[in-house]
Chain A
Amino acid sequence: MMRYIIVVVFLVLSTFLFIQLESGRDPHTVPSPLIGKAAPAFSLPQLHEPAKKFSPADMKGRVWLFNLWASWCVSCREEHPVLMALSQQNIVPIIGLDYEDKTPDAEAWLAKGGNPYLLSVTDVEGRIGIDYGITGVPETFVIDKHGVIRYKEVGVVTPQNLHDTILPLVAQLEREP
């Protein structure tokens, strides 16, 4: 009797382990409580024209991507060509937030690798990053016409998650009133 119980317990535990392994879910990604909530407001100076400010309200009525990046961020290098290709297709505007960066470094980095952003804002102290609940860069938010966060990609935007998740969502949001 006891032997059967032990075998059953073992099987149940190994099934859980197997499901978790197979799902490919990264336990480091934390579900964002911000999905379905209004994108936190801010007003930050633009990277290329610090005298001008940008705030999310300026994008009302448009679906847009909000991409947090930095010149010091290594994975952003992997993401950059994907964003460049996306920006050339003119499907969806990308607003960048230069996170805890030095402005000259950021400008140099965009000048060298190309600038996929409609514009970027600078968050030198990382305060807005906290407001958006980010744990690192890059992270990308999909924001709808009403300024509501609909999706968050933690980590690199790859051709795969772009085509499987982000672009279909953008197309759907474009159709929404």
Chain B
Amino acid sequence: MKKLLLVALLSVMPLAAWAEEAKDLAEDPVVEKRLVALAKNLRCLVCQNESLESSHAELARDLRREVREQIRAGKSDQEILDYLVARYGDFVLYEPPVKSYTLLLWFGPFVLLLAGAGVLFYQVSRRRKTVPEANLSAEAQQRAAALLEDEEKR
């Protein structure tokens, strides 16, 4: 009986997936559109890998309210981002600005790519040296062609 109950309960669990994205309804659509666009690039600070737009966390809700109010107050996107960065640091942005300490973050992958290309180039050029071009006389070449032809016929 207990097992049956467990099965029944587990089987309704997927219904939780129907839960809506965190939305604050009945708002001005223009404001909401800007809010969504802004919040997609902002980090929900308590959930780290979730954007402010999709998070259900209370802090995220409060921050969305703050952003919404600033949009209504006529602040530009940049002003709103500056406001948040002043309080939460660059960490709040999903796209951190290029600064001295983010150089590695921005350009590290390209450095790795170049290093990989270098290693590849080195390896290829080395292999070329170890396998020298065959230097055949005209006679030997004819024989090789004949052998190949023979092979094809068979």
Chain A residues, Cβ within 8 Å of B45: 30, 135
Stretch at the interface among B2-10, B81-89, B128-136, B142-150: B81-89
Cβ proximity bits B76-112 to A, threshold 8 Å, 1 near / 0 not: 0000000001111101000000000000000000000
Q: Does B63 count as interface, using CB distance less than 8 angstroms?
A: yes
Once the chains bind, are B88 and A133 in contact (CB under 8 Å)? yes
Q: Does B21 count as interface, using CB distance less than 8 angstroms?
A: no
Once the chains bind, are A135 and B63 in contact (CB under 8 Å)? no
Once the chains bind, are A30 and B89 in contact (CB under 8 Å)? yes
8 Å CB contact of B88 from A5, A30, A125: A30
Once the chains bind, are A133 and B119 in contact (CB under 8 Å)? no
8 Å CB contact of B85 from A2, A28, A33: A33
Total contacting residues, chain B, CB less than 8 A: 16
Q: Does A117 count as interface, using CB distance less than 8 angstroms?
A: no
Once the chains bind, are B48 and A130 in contact (CB under 8 Å)? no
Q: How far is the CA of A28 from the CA of B46 in the complex (A)?
A: 8
Give the number of residue pairs across the A-B interface with Cβ within 8 Å: 41
Chain A residues, Cβ within 8 Å of B62: 125-127, 129-130
- Given the interface contacts A126-B62, A130-B63, does A28 sit within 8 Å of B87 by beta carbon? no
Q: Does A50 count as interface, using CB distance less than 8 angstroms?
A: no
Q: Does A15 count as interface, using CB distance less than 8 angstroms?
A: no
Once the chains bind, are A132 and B46 in contact (CB under 8 Å)? no
Cβ proximity bits B36-64 to A, threshold 8 Å, 1 near / 0 not: 00000000011010000000001100110
Closest B residue by C-beta to A28: B48
Closest B residue by C-beta to A125: B62
Once the chains bind, are B88 and A132 in contact (CB under 8 Å)? no
Chain A residues, Cβ within 8 Å of B91: 30-31
Q: How far is the CA of A30 from the CA of B90 in the complex (A)?
A: 10
Interface residues in A131-160 by Cβ distance below 8 A to B read 131-133, 135-136
Nearest Cβ on chain B to A71's Cβ, whole angstroms: 15
Interface residues of B (CB under 8 A from A): 45-46, 48, 58-59, 62-63, 66, 85-89, 91, 119, 123
- The 6 A-B pairs of least Cβ separation, nearest first, read A133-B87, A33-B89, A135-B45, A30-B91, A126-B62, A133-B88
